[in-house]
Structures are given as C-alpha cells and as structure tokens.
Chains A and B, each alone.
Chain A
Amino acid sequence: MIAMLLAGGQGSRLGVLTATEAKPGVLFGGKYRIIDFPMSNCINSGVDTVGVLTQYQPLKLNQHIGIGIPWDLDRRSGGVTILSPHMKSEHGAWYTGTANAIYQNIEYIEQYNPDYVLVLGGDHIYKMDYSKMLDFHKRNKADVTIAALEVPWEEASRFGLMNVHADQRIHEFEEKPPNPKSNLANMGIYIFNWDVLRDALERDNLVHPDSDFGMHVLPMLLADGMRMFAYPFSDYWRDVGTIESYWEANMDLIRTVPEFNLYEEFNKIYTDADYQPPIFTGPRAVIQGTILSEGCEVLGQVTGSVLGPRVIVEEGASVKDSIILENGYIGKNSVLERCIVDINCTVGDGVVIGCGGGGNIPNELRPKIYNTGITVLGENSIVPDGVRIGQNCVIHGETLPADYPDKLLSSGKSILREQKNNEKGAKA
C-alpha cells in the first residue's frame, strides 16, 4: 500500500497563520507541523512510500519534508516524493480538486503498481494505525474503505455523514443533513483498491474538471454498487481549521493527563528538528501547566501555554494561555494573554497583548475569523516597546510606535504590514 497525502490546502480560516504557509505546514504542539501527524502515522503503520501533493505556498513545507529523514522516509525504494502541479505538453495544470490531484499523479502511483492506495488529508491532528484499517478493508473484501469518526449526535449535522448497514457497509452519503441518521463522519482518509480508484479517476475526470472525492468520486462509486465500508475510529482527532479550534487543540496538550498522548515510547510523532539545544529555566522562572520545546529560555512567567523551539521569555514577562511559535522573543515585563504568536516574532519590552475590556469585539476586517478573543501575530511581526494591544487583533509585519496612537491598538483592530506576498495573505 502506498499513501497519497493531500497537502495543498490553504486553510483560509486560520487567517494570518496561513498567509505564507499551507495549512499542513502550520506549527502545532510547539515543535510539530500539522503534516507530521499523518506522515508519522504512515511510517508507524509500515507505509514507506508516500507522495505528498503540494500546491499552496509549498516552500516551507518542501523544506520541512526534504528527503524524509525525520520519518525514515529517506529510502532507495519508495520513500517520500513531493508531487507539485506541473506543466503538461500544452498547458499548466493546477490541482483543481482532491480527486483531480490524484488523477494528475496516476503515473507516480503506477510506478509502484500497488494493490491499495491510501489517500489522506494533511491537516488533522490524530494518531491512527492505517495497517489496521487495511486489515479491515481486506477482511471486508472492500473496494473502498473510509475512516469514520464517531462524532457526538448533537454535532453530527455539521459533518459529511455515512449511513451504514450493520456490517459497516455504506449505503448512503449525506452532506450536513439537518436530521442525521448516523454519527459516522467522513474523516477524509480513504483506502482504495488501485484498479477501482484508477478507473474511477479517469471516468470522473471526463465529467468533472474539478474532480473531488467527497462530491463526485465516492457517490459515483456508491452508485456503481462498489463495496464501500466505514472504518470506525473513536480516538483523539481534531480538525484545527479555525483560530479557536487550533488554540483549543494546542491547549489539549497541556492538561495534566492529556487526552492525546505524545509521550508514548512507540508510535512517536516525528518532525524535522535539525539540532536540539536544551531548555533553560531562569532562577526566577515560573512555568506551570505548560509545554516547552527545545531551546526555550524562560526567565519570566509562563502558564497554560505552548511554546515552540527557541522561544525566549525575558525577566518579568508573563505569558498566559498563549501559543508562541519558533524563535519568538517576549521582552521584559511584557504581558500576553490568549495570543497566538507565529514564528520569528519579536515583542518589545513592557508590551501588553490581549488586554480585555468592553466585551468581545470581533475583528473589524475579518470578523468571521477572529472573534473568540484571541489576538494573532503573523510571522516575522515586530511589536515596539510599551504598546497595548487588545483582543481579536491581528498584527502582521514590522510595526512602529507611530502605528499605535496613544500607544494603543484597541480590540478588533488590525495592523497589516506584510502585504506583498500574495493577495489572500494580505487579507490576513
């Protein structure tokens, strides 16, 4: 079985966090990137041939994956291959849909002539043994097996659901039905018999130029009478597609006994960490209910937070209920509460971020994205000394004291300085 990992999605509801980064490349849990979870699941399940399909902002993702060393995917046979959209003889071809992306890489899969193909999304946090799913697939003599998350009944109508017989065979797909008949949600993890998938991709491509698994290919196969089964999964699984769910899933890791255990001896999650200096806690440090990645230097106070590699928290600074990603610097006596600070940010001395007051004011530019009180600093942002920043604010790029009238950025306001990269990023 080989795996095809769809890692091209933007994740636009993550706002400024995906301005220069595809969603699978977003950092999670301090030292990881979201894609590390499906990648590690692959190697931990014995799948050692993985095609990674990239499209949106692939630079950092490509660098991160490299030749696959962290996941033992640097192999002479198989291993990891980055599959980007490319020019064909007459025209360039972007990946226009999930199934279209696989369709455009039929040649890659054919090289390995596999019996089974595992198709995965690159943007969920979970641990799964795909080899057990394959056993299930074989036992049922299935043509297609779809991993199914048992969601709470009251939330079921938010998902794409599968209605099944007693033997888990799927007889109907329902997209966000108001009155759900089942609580089995499609997790976007599929095992196909390769001959079935190949045939379906080629047929559907004639009809839908934006061929999509959920909308086109799976319903078509069901109508054809294929044996399609739902593989029930009930462990930890999170979609971190919004600012709030991203923050919550990070915070899941700091509980005394976390529901999602990263500390097991086997089935580890692997990531690219080129060197690992130790963590240092200063003589007056207070660090509680927090996880710290390698190279952090904490001289101040950090509670209820997740810190990425090489974050520095200076003396007198206080970080509470926040996520600070790689290479962040928090200056002396600064106070941060409910923030997400993307990589390489510098917060000056005596800054206050996340100061409340006046209720929850959603962001003025993008109220649908920033509306839960969390303030976000985009990659490479700089905040000058002594300013106060409210809730639901967005800062991206180097900001100067002049950007803060009365040294204040009140709740719901934004300062966006990095607008050159691309249109969507500029909208934060």
Chain B
Amino acid sequence: MKAVGIILAGGGYERLGELTNYRTTSAIPVGSCYRAIDFPLSNMTNSGIKKVAIITQNNSRSLHDHLSSPKWWDLGSKQGGMFVLSPFLAGSDSGWFKGTADSIYQNLTFLRRSNEPYVVISSGNCVYKMDFNDVIAYHERKNAEITIAYRRVPDSEDIRNYGVLELDENERLTDLEEKPLDPQSDLASIGVYVIKRELLINLLETISNEGRHNLVRDIFSRYRKRLMIYGYKFDGYWRNLSSISSYYDCNMDFLKRDIRALLAIDHPYIKTKPKDEPPAKFNARAVVTNCLVGSGAILDGVADSSVIFRKVYTGEGSQVRNSIIMEGTRIREGCVVEYAILDKEVVLSPWTSVIGTPDEPIIIPKGTVK
C-alpha cells in the first residue's frame, strides 16, 4: 500500500448536545451495532492501508474503550498497526492540540517513521464507504500535491455547515472557505484528503513555526495557489454526524434497503468491536416492523421504524416508534417512546412516555432512570 492513514477523532461537537456528554462524536453509536469511527477505520483497512493513526483529544474514554484492540480491524500486525494518539505533556510547547494540523504536527514521529509515499486523512465522525485506492489513483493521474474529496450538496442540506470548495474546469482548487456566510458553490469537502507524506511533514513544520495550526485554513486554503490542490468528486452515501438531525437521519437511513446494503451488508464489510451477544430474541407478543435490531436485544413490545441497538429490552405493551434506542437501554412495560433518542443504559419505568417531534427528537441522556 502506498499510504498511511490518519483519522482525526478529537472533535467535541456541542451541536450534538447530551449525546456527546460522555463521548467524542467519533465514538457515537450508529446503525444498531457500529460506532462512527468504524466507517473511516474500516474504509482504511479495506483499502489495504496497514498503518493507521487515530488522533483523539476530547472526551475520549469511550473511543479508547471501543478501540480496545487493533485486531478487530485487522490492524494487529508488526508491519503497520493501529496507533491511538492522545495529547500529552512534554516540555513547554506541547499539551492540548491547538488545531487539526497541530494534532498531526505533535505526532510527527508517526509520519517520519513511515515510508509510504502518501497520507490519507479522514475525519472520524462521518458515515460513508470509500475505496481510498480510487482517490490515490486520481491524485497520481492529476499529478496533484493535495487532493480533497468533495460532494455536491443537495438543496435540502445547509451547505453553510461545511467547507465549501470552488474548483476550476480542471477540478483544481481556486477557493476554499470554512462554513461560509455566503457560499459560492454547492461543493462541500467531506473531510477526506490525500497528500504526499513528505510534503505534509514540511508544511506542518512550516506553519507550526508561524503559529498556525489548522489543516484546512492554514494549509489547503492558504496554499491553494502555490500547490496543485485538486478536488475528487465522491457520489456515494456520506453523512457527517455533527448535529442531532443528521445523526437521527443517518440512523433512519439504515432502514432503507439500498443504504443498508451499502453500509452493512455488502462486501467490503464495515468492522466493529465484537460484543459476543446472543441472537436477538422476539418474544410471543412482540410486533417489530421496519426496525434495525442489534444482537442480545430482548423484545416483548411493539416497535416500528426504529433503530434498536444491542441488549435493548422492551417490555410487554410498550410502544417504540421513530426512535433510536441505544445499547443496554430498558423500556419497561406500557411505555410509549416516539421521536426519541434514548442513549445507552437508560431505564424507563413502567408506563413512562417519552415523546418528541419529527423536527426535534427528544434526547434522554446516558444512564437516565426515568
């Protein structure tokens, strides 16, 4: 393989509210048995990348828990491996990462001790499936120094949440604005970059000396005229789990046949940490329709159009609709749950109602006993 991988998994997004009280967005559970980081991480190993660094910073306990062993992603090898890199103190100019570029700069040893020509960088909180070999092939064809993967954003989404690209007729980057007030195109970066390893090392050293720390603003945008930076168009499914609504929608997307096939059923597989739960159990009065169900769940009640994670229990006569129920949550008899996101290990006492609206699903934080 020609590349090493870096996953930026440090972000804490306040727009996810209580869902990120106990975890960074890269560790957010999605699709009944995955966490967000499984997607970029599996994409890397499925593309043949043998050496992956995962850079963490905020609220990383649950992410470290999830990344308990590299063997779940076939990264438990002597050649390569999985490197989970957290900020540490060593001298006066270290400590918390001051930005995306700084987080890689402070771990420059990882890049220096590699000999692969390229680096593939991905954010850790996006749900997508991509073969990075295609991006690298494009990068080489274009003789690019940096390649930024992008997608066309439909009108239904607010492009002002993204990094917006402007490209010339050869797909070369002419402008790049983070979360612009007045977007000049409908092309948004998806947080996937390919760059020559030695070039990245040089750039990181240069900008760090200038007190600059941001990958997008201080390298891609600032160097767009000096370097050959190209856009790579990605047409596939992509969701950024950076807001409650995108998180909710992404989970519900798994109920659609084609998206479920892409993300969960078809080869190459998205891998996750195995939990060894027994098969899900549907008891005699269960009515479970249009649902995703995780293993180890025991269902006695009614559930429809919902994403039910592992080890969830629903009691007799309970009703769950249009909701996301995370691992280990117990919904006892007679409860009504609609348009809700119940975080892990929530317990609803008998006959409790939790009802949100389609526009604003109600969130019950992890471990709540109600």
A-to-B contact residues, CB < 8 Å: 29-31, 69-70, 74, 253-254, 256, 262-263, 268-271, 273-295, 306-307
Contacts and interface: CB of A to CB of B under 8 A. Distances in A.
B278 A281 contact: no
Contacts of A269: 276, 278
Interface in B250-288: 254-255, 260, 264-265, 269-272, 274-288
27 contacts: A31-B278, A69-B71, A74-B71, A254-B281, A256-B284, A263-B298, A275-B269, A275-B272, A276-B295, A278-B254, A278-B292, A278-B293, A279-B280, A280-B255, A281-B289, A281-B291, A282-B290, A285-B288, A286-B287, A287-B288, A288-B282, A289-B284, A290-B281, A290-B282, A291-B279, A292-B279, A292-B280
Contacts of A273: 274, 276
Nearest to B263: A277
- Chain B interface size band reads 35 or more
A145 B286 CA distance: 46
Counting from the closest, the 3 A-B pairs by CB-CB distance are A262-B278, A278-B32, A277-B264
Given A279-B294, A280-B255, A288-B284, A270 B276 contact: yes
B274 A276 contact: yes
A263 B281 CA distance: 10
B301 interface: no
Chain B binding site: helix, strand, loop or mixed by DSSP?
loop
B35 to A, nearest CB: 13
B265 A276 contact: no
A425 B287 CA distance: 41
A286 B293 CA distance: 14
Contacts of A283: 289-290
B311 to A, nearest CB: 8
Contacts, number: 109
Contacts of A276: 33, 272, 274-275, 295
Contact of B280 (A277, A282, A291): A291
Contacts of B260: 277, 280
A280 B252 CA distance: 12
Contact of B278 (A29, A280, A285): A29
A293 B279 CA distance: 4
Given A277-B264, A288-B286, A289-B284, A70 B294 contact: no
Contact of A285 (B254, B255, B289): B289
Contacts of A278: 31-33, 254, 264, 292-294
Nearest to B290: A283
Contacts of A293: 279-280, 295
Contact of B270 (A31, A275, A282): A275
A231 to B, nearest CB: 27
A281 B294 CA distance: 11
A339 B289 CA distance: 25
Given A278-B294, A281-B293, A282-B290, A291 B285 contact: no
